[in-house]
């Protein structure tokens, strides 16, 4: 007997409702290459329904005391924690990542997002000043209104909650458009929001494609704010569409991040972390270090070490605890990534390891979108493979001789999201970190997370910053009020 597929519906005004058109499409389980759920093919009509609910809810939610809003956010975090394993399994099935990665990173960080911003709104203070002989001025922070929150497929729940938590903590209401490839945990979050006591209409989910639902959100004349995480090309389209309406926008876009390894590094630590920063989540993290630059005295040793460690990584069944890499998110994305491996060969590169589907997969995974961790040498920094975002388990390694040279390589990019630097020289740490054109620079670490700090990219990696007070500033308007003496 065939197992009946799950049908996901939109979540509007705290109720699950079918799309106005009645149309759905299939979403696929990446590890098996088979459909596992029906997703609403939402249209502008669905966005209009969600906006009506969100705008009505805003009238009350924007005036709800901060302590009451924070209590609900804390409750949301607790409920996510209580369903940790359920969320982790669903995230893996929908996205392809190992269950263990979702269980230890994605889902706990989603809960942390709500806890952090719940606490943040309880302890904030605003500016004030005494104008001697004139009056007294103070700042009032106001929610913006109905926000459009558009999230990606690589870290589905984690990055969706990174937007929802500060948005509603500040008193806004939201219409969320998760990626059409990964809607399952967003759908599950709806029941958590309702159980936590979030009032109807505060958070609405409209599922579907970018053209069908996303564009309608972006172009809606009464939605004043857009937070988008995704590709640079899509980000440019959103900016073009939203600019005439003067919407507030925050864009976290693509990356082609450098990983700089100096000869005086802690070699084993640098190697161990580089394996993780290259291939975690199948390389489908915007912060992965895909351009590895190694100082020439240790270049050959580092290449050998990285290849040896990459070959030890287990690719396959995402449910197994010892699996390191799961499946890429879709067949189309798998084809794109493999296309870059083929391009690397044409550009004169050497495939040191990987570049193909793993052998001896279990029969149930033979149609899954798996790719071995891939390391490429022999390319120059001008090659397309070293300049364009691949977003898969593919990295290049290139030697350098001087500090000035490698800073030039790192900065010679259209992107500027992150960079990792490996050196034990304290002066060099500060000097190189200061010279790198990227929104985040890690020294002797990777993916260390501090929610108080600003996060975002330079150049084509994005516009604006979120995190800590930067998120509060984005999701609110600041009004100066002056009272005469």
pLDDT at 1: 38
In this structure, whether the domain defined by 6-253+461-484 belongs to CATH 3.40.605.10 is answered with yes
% of the chain at pLDDT higher than 90: 96
- pLDDT mean across residues, the chain: 97
Q: What is the spatial distance between Cα 75 and Cα 460, in angstroms, rounded to a whole number?
A: 37
pLDDT reading at 2 higher than 60: no
pLDDT at 124: 82
Please check whether residue 415 is in contact with residue 256, taking contact to mean a CB–CB distance below 8 angstroms: yes
pLDDT at 326: 98
pLDDT digits (tens, 9 = 90+) for 433-463: 999 999 999 999 999 999 999 999 999 999 9
Q: How far is CA 236 from CA 164, 170, 253, 460, 462, in A?
A: 23, 27, 10, 9, 10
Q: What is the spatial distance between Cα 48 and Cα 248, in angstroms, rounded to a whole number?
A: 20
Active site residue 477: no
pLDDT digits (tens, 9 = 90+) for 32-59: 999 999 999 999 999 999 999 999 999 9
Return the SS3 of 116: helix
Residues 6+ apart with CB under 8 A from 424: 264, 265, 266, 444
Q: Specify which residues 483 forms β-bridges with.
A: 136
DSSP-derived secondary structure letter, 119: H
Return the SS3 of 459: strand
The 3 state secondary structure assigned to 346-373 is HCCCEEEECCCCCCCCCHHHCCCCCCCC
pLDDT at 218: 97
pLDDT at 167: 98
Across 23-34, average pLDDT: 97
Q: 29, 252, 295, 372: which is the annotated catalytic residue?
A: 252
pLDDT at 133: 87
pLDDT at 3: 61
pLDDT digits (tens, 9 = 90+) for 166-184: 999 999 999 999 999 999 9
State the sign of the Cα–Cα–Cα–Cα dihedral 34, 38, 39, 42. positive
Across 151-162, average pLDDT: 98
pLDDT at 299: 98
Q: What is the spatial distance between Cα 111 and Cα 165, in angstroms, rounded to a whole number?
A: 9
Across 387-410, average pLDDT: 98
pLDDT digits (tens, 9 = 90+) for 60-112: 999 999 999 999 999 999 999 999 999 999 999 999 999 999 999 999 999 99
Residue predicted with more confidence, 68 or 2:
68
| φ/ψ of residue 384, rounded to 5 | -60, -40
pLDDT digits (tens, 9 = 90+) for 329-383: 999 999 999 999 999 999 999 999 999 999 989 999 999 999 999 999 999 999 9
Across 140-167, average pLDDT: 98
Q: Residue 283's closest CA among 336, 234, 243, 229?
A: 336
Domains of the chain, residue spans: 6-253+461-484, 257-450
Strand order across the beta sheet in which 418-422 lies: 350-353, 374-377, 394-400, 289-295, 257-261, 418-422, 440-443
Q: May I ask the CATH class of domain 257-450?
A: alpha beta
Structure tokens at 283: 């390389």
pLDDT digits (tens, 9 = 90+) for 256-281: 999 999 999 999 999 999 999 999 99
Please check whether residue 442 is in contact with residue 421, taking contact to mean a CB–CB distance below 8 angstroms: yes
């Amino acid at each position: 007997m065939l197992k009946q597929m799950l049908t996901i519906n939109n979540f509007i005004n705290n109720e699950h409702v079918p799309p106005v058109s009645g149309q759905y499409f299939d979403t696929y389980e990446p590890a098996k290459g088979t459909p596992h759920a029906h997703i609403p093919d939402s249209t502008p009509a669905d966005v209009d329904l969600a906006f009506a609910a969100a705008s009505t809810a805003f009238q009350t939610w924007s005036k709800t005391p901060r302590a009451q809003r924070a209590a609900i956010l804390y409750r949301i975090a607790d409920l996510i924690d209580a369903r940790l394993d359920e969320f982790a399994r669903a995230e893996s099935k929908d996205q392809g990542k190992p269950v263990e990665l979702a269980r230890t990173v994605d889902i706990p960080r989603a809960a942390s997002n709500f806890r952090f911003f719940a606490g943040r709104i309880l302890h904030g203070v605003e500016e004030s000043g005494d104008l001697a002989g004139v009056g007294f001025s103070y700042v009032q922070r106001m929610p913006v209104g109905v926000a459009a929150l558009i999230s990606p497929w690589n870290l589905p729940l984690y990055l969706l909650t990174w937007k929802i938590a500060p948005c509603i903590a500040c008193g806004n209401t939201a219409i969320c458009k998760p990626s059409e490839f990964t809607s399952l945990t967003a759908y599950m979050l709806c029941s958590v929001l309702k159980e936590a006591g979030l009032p109807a209409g505060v958070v609405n989910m409209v599922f579907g494609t970018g053209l069908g639902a996303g564009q309608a959100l972006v172009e809606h004349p009464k939605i004043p704010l857009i937070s988008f995480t995704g590709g640079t090309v899509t980000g440019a389209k959103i900016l073009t569409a939203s600019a005439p309406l003067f919407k507030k926008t925050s864009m976290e876009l693509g990356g082609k991040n450098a990983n700089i390894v100096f000869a005086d590094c802690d070699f084993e630590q640098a190697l161990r972390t580089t394996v993780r920063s290259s291939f975690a989540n199948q390389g489908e993290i915007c912060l992965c270090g895909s351009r590895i630059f190694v100082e020439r005295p240790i270049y050959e040793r580092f290449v050998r070490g990285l290849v040896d460690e990459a070959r030890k990584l287990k690719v396959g069944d995402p449910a197994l605890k010892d699996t390191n890499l799961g499946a890429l998110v879709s067949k189309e994305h798998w084809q794109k990534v493999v296309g870059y491996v083929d391009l690397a060969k044409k550009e004169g590169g050497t495939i040191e390891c990987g570049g193909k589907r793993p052998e001896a997969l279990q029969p149930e995974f033979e149609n899954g979108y798996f790719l071995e961790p891939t390391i490429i040498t022999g390319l120059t920094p001008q090659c397309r493979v070293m300049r364009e975002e691949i977003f898969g388990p593919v990295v290049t390694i290139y030697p350098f001789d001087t500090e000035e040279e490698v800073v030039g390589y790192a900065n010679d990019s259209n992107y500027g999201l992150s960079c990792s630097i490996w050196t034990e020289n304290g002066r060099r740490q500060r000097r190189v970190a200061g010279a790198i054109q990227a929104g985040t620079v890690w020294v002797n670490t990777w993916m260390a997370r501090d929610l108080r700090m600003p996060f975002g990219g330079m150049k084509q990696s994005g516009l604006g910053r979120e995190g800590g007070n930067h998120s509060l500033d984005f999701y609110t308007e600041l009004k100066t009020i002056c009272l005469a003496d």
